[in-house]
Structure 1
């Protein structure tokens, strides 16, 4: 039986999000918000995790601190999503983003 070898970083195929795509503004990573998130509507975590450079737990902690958009319940407590317009604002300037105060 042949011995299994591990692929090095150079030999591994490039993930889909890291490949370049082109549009009117020129080349950019395919996983960027402009190419994956519409301006309005909501996005669930399964799609958002490919756009946000943070883990689910980091996002949760930033939400509690007001440093990331708040999730919205869609029907049940287990079905949540984030508003695309707020995610795009956060992606534009994550360091100074503050979630809108509900009230």
Structure 2
């Protein structure tokens, strides 16, 4: 059973996740995720530095709860 701070998908409910944390759960390539981000069908990444991108765990939970109907919030 998942702890209080982790959900069923294995990511904490709050905080950020990098690609290595997300890749096993996503089932998609980086390019597919990038294209879906541009279409607003996947949470948008946040660049902490030029080479370090992360995704908000709250948005990832929203996506995994209903991937077909997910729409990213307007920036």
> Does TM, normalized by the shorter one, top 0.5?
yes
TM-score (norm 2): 0.87
For structure 2, the 5+ residue unaligned runs are none
Pair 93,35 (structure 1): closer, same or farther in 2 beyond 3 Å: closer
Q: Which runs of 4+ in 1 moved over 4 A?
A: none
Q: Distance in 2 between matches of 1:89 and 1:79?
A: 22
Specify the alignment match of 2:38 in structure 1.
64
How many angstroms does 1:36 deviate by? 1.7
Superposed CA RMSD in Å reads 1.4
Specify the alignment match of 2:50 in structure 1.
77
For structure 1, the 5+ residue unaligned runs are 1-22, 25-32
Q: Distance in 1 between matches of 2:50 and 2:72?
A: 20
More helix by share: 2
Query: Where do 1:11-22 residues align within 5 Å?
Result: none
Higher relative contact order (CA 8 A, sep 6+): 2
Q: Work out which of the two has the higher radius of gyration on C-alpha atoms and give 1 or 2.
A: 1
Specify the alignment match of 1:97 in structure 2.
70
Query: Where do 1:2-41 residues align within 5 Å?
Result: 23=1, 34-41=8-15
TM-score (norm 1): 0.65
